[in-house]
Amino acid sequence: MTTFLRKIWRVAPLAAALGLAGPVAYADGSTPNTVYVGVAYMQNHSSLPDLSGYNTPPGLNLNVGNAATLGLTYVRDLPGPWSFELALGYPPRVRTDAMGANWAKLGIQPGTGITDVDAVSPTAFINYHFWGHDAKWYPFVGLGINYTRFTNTKALSSLTSHLGPTDISLSDSWGAAAHAGLIYHIDARWAVVGTIAVADVQSDLTTTSYSPSNPSLITSQSKTHINFHPIVYTLAVGYSF
């Protein structure tokens, strides 16, 4: 992860999902809308080829770290056992560490954090509730789509002190997402939910370093393709209205 962390994440809008079914005819006092607030923890199981490019030595790799953040989710009940869900969250700050013995040749010890990036990743789901919407306990599963954008990229001093000023860019990602969860209704308004989610998050990484004495002179450039393989765990409290 590259980078799926001071701000986690939000897992991508699927506005069209709202049009999959018509409005529900709810009785007075019903609560078709629920907002959940809680904690989300993202584990990245990143994989990527070694960095390569102009003046880039072989054997340099990266490891994307994990992150925790505030999660925010909106759920709208649909007809039957279905619901629409938009999962957001405060963008986590993800740290990437140097990985590979050859970093030492550049003066950077393997395992040292070298970059930070914020991950903005809204995700939309269509969920199926096995026991309907009114059971005290009910499990659900969902499929959807994730959009991830990487912002506020920063090369840390551990990198720039050896390579010079460095710009970092990560391409946006669109990919499938899936999750499963269990909801416990405390009463008609309040509930607790726990979920585990996965998403296909991939990005092209480019780093460009410049001469400290001549900002227009490129001294090295590296590229790679990162597959983050994130798993996100959430625990949240919901209020229905």
Per-residue pLDDT of the chain (241 residues; tens, 9 = 90+): 333 333 333 333 322 222 223 333 333 447 899 999 999 999 999 999 999 999 999 999 999 999 999 999 999 999 999 999 999 989 999 999 999 989 998 999 999 999 999 999 999 999 999 987 667 898 999 999 999 999 999 999 999 999 999 999 999 999 999 999 999 999 989 999 999 999 999 999 999 999 999 989 999 999 999 999 999 999 999 999 9
| Domains (range + CATH), the chain | 15-20+31-240 (2.40.160.20)
Q: What pLDDT shows up at residue 235? A: 98
Distances in Å between the Cα of 236 and the Cα atoms of 167, 177, 183 are: 37, 19, 10
Whether the CB-CB separation of 238 and 33 falls below 8 Å is answered with: no
Q: What pLDDT shows up at residue 59? A: 94
Q: What pLDDT shows up at residue 119? A: 96
Q: Does the pTM exceed 0.85? A: no
Q: What pLDDT shows up at residue 28? A: 40
Q: What pLDDT shows up at residue 96? A: 96
Whether the CB-CB separation of 57 and 102 falls below 8 Å is answered with: yes
Q: What pLDDT shows up at residue 71? A: 95
